[in-house]
Amino acid sequence: MGVAAQIEALGTAGWAKFSADAHLEAWAAHVAPIAAALSQNPEHRADWLRHGGTWFAGVNILANDAQGRVEQGPALGGAVVDCLTALHGPMSLDRGQISVTYPGYPAFDGQESAAAHRYRVNRAAAHVDGLLAIGPERRRFVHEPHQYVLGIPLGKSNAEASPLVIWEGSHSLIRAAFKSVLDSLPVAQWGSVDLTEVYHKARKDCFDRCRRKSILAQPGECYVLHRLALHGIAPWGTGAQAPPEGRIVAYFRPQTQGNLNDWLNGEY
């Protein structure tokens, strides 16, 4: 699938998968042991271990540069970089997240409500990245407007090992819902607008109208999600197969450099 077709997939389904190539294989081979070591670091585990020890969140702990280089390793390259560069200009990655799921995810440990845990199990804790829950009432505001979500698997796993799931086409419903509130306001005010109710309604519409799709990829492959796509992580299945260190994925979510208008009204 060429760059034009991948861009079309992002605009219609809200995600695109990129086949294995030598650039990504080399990058994943270099980063995998580094990521595994980071996930076992006691300080990081104290900060990022969640759900009874079944998920290591690892937000922004990978010390990569803007092109993805880690500890003198290779930069990211290949078709995915060609695609993202065509859409957003030169690569300007944030520090990567190292997300690791383990057998039993998600275990209930009392750190979230029973209702939130049921949502995590039944709906994969589906969310739109960048829409942060603020305060004890968890009101939703746009505080981290991303360009995209790039996921790069760092170990072999099967479809039962807590795959990422997306509701295909959900980005279009989410965009329409947010535009119904934000279009009449100056962009400078968008970050202070409480989107909780419109977001919850749009999320329900996505569950009712969009197909839930599991995304399975192996080292050397990767996937890109639309910045407004509803997505989450499925529970660990009984037939799951993954390395002893868990199912490890590196995620990147570079922000739009403060341009909220591009976040909502970009070309795709």
pLDDT digits (tens, 9 = 90+) for 104-156: 999 999 999 999 999 999 999 999 999 999 998 899 999 999 999 999 999 99
Question: For the segment 52-104, what is each residue's pLDDT rounded down to a tens digit?
Answer: 999 999 999 999 999 999 999 999 999 999 999 999 999 999 999 999 999 99
Distances (CA, A) of 39 to 27, 35, 59, 156, 248: 18, 6, 11, 17, 9
Q: What is the CATH number of domain 3-265?
A: 2.60.120.620
**35 and 21 Cβ atoms separated by less than 8 Å:** no
Strand positions, DSSP E, the chain:
15-18, 49-50, 55-56, 97-101, 131-134, 139-142, 148-153, 164-167, 212-215, 222-226, 231-233, 247-252
> Which letter does DSSP use for residue 220 in this model?
T
Every domain of the chain and the residues it spans = 3-265
* pTM of the predicted model as reported, rounded to 2 decimal places: 0.96
For 39-95, the DSSP string reads HH-HHHHHHHEETTTTEE--TT-B-B-TT--BTT-PPP-SHHHHHHHHHHSS--PPP
Distance of CA 64 to the CA centre of its chain: 17
Q: What CA–CA distance (Å, rounded) separates 115 from 122?
A: 10
pLDDT, position 2: 80
- Contact at 8 Å (CB) between 59 and 260? no
